[in-house]
């Protein structure tokens, strides 16, 4: 696993150590998680721009309607017999 090294202010370093302790994490794990979340956010922002520039085709959008179909049968009372038997 590659290692990154960077400088932060003394206040940021102390805050990172404090939060790592509060969360029961190593400071490195806290920083890895923070970096991963920030990169995920940047990727999602990039994806949103890409979707705006190139929206779904009619064929691709047709699959979205499947989610609106709902269940084929009524299953809301499926557990009634299970609980009544106890």
Q: Give pLDDT, residue 76.
A: 73
pLDDT band for position 80 (cuts 50, 70, 90): confident
Domain assignment present for residue 18? The answer is: yes
Domain assignment present for residue 55? The answer is: yes
Asked whether residue 86 carries a pLDDT value surpassing 60, the answer given is no
Q: Give pLDDT, residue 27.
A: 96
Q: How many domains does the chain have?
A: 1
Q: Give pLDDT, residue 70.
A: 66
Distance between CA atoms of residues 29 and 20, nearest Å? 8
Segment 9-65, tens digit of pLDDT: 999 999 999 999 999 999 999 999 999 999 999 999 888 888 888 888 888 888 777
Q: Give pLDDT, residue 58.
A: 87
Q: Look at the block and give the residue holding tokens 């794990």.
A: 29
Range of the domain at 59: 10-64
Strands (E), the chain: none
Domain assignment present for residue 42? The answer is: yes
> How much is the pTM?
0.58
Domain assignment present for residue 70? The answer is: no
């Amino acid at each position: 696993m590659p290692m990154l090294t960077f400088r932060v202010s003394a206040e940021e370093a102390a805050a990172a150590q404090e939060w790592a302790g509060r969360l029961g994490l190593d400071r490195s794990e806290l920083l890895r998680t923070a970096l991963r979340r920030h990169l995920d956010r940047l990727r999602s922002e990039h994806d949103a721009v890409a979707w705006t520039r190139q929206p779904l085709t009619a064929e691709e959008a047709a699959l979205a309607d499947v989610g609106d179909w709902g269940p084929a049968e009524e299953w809301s009372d499926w557990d009634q017999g299970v609980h009544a038997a106890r």
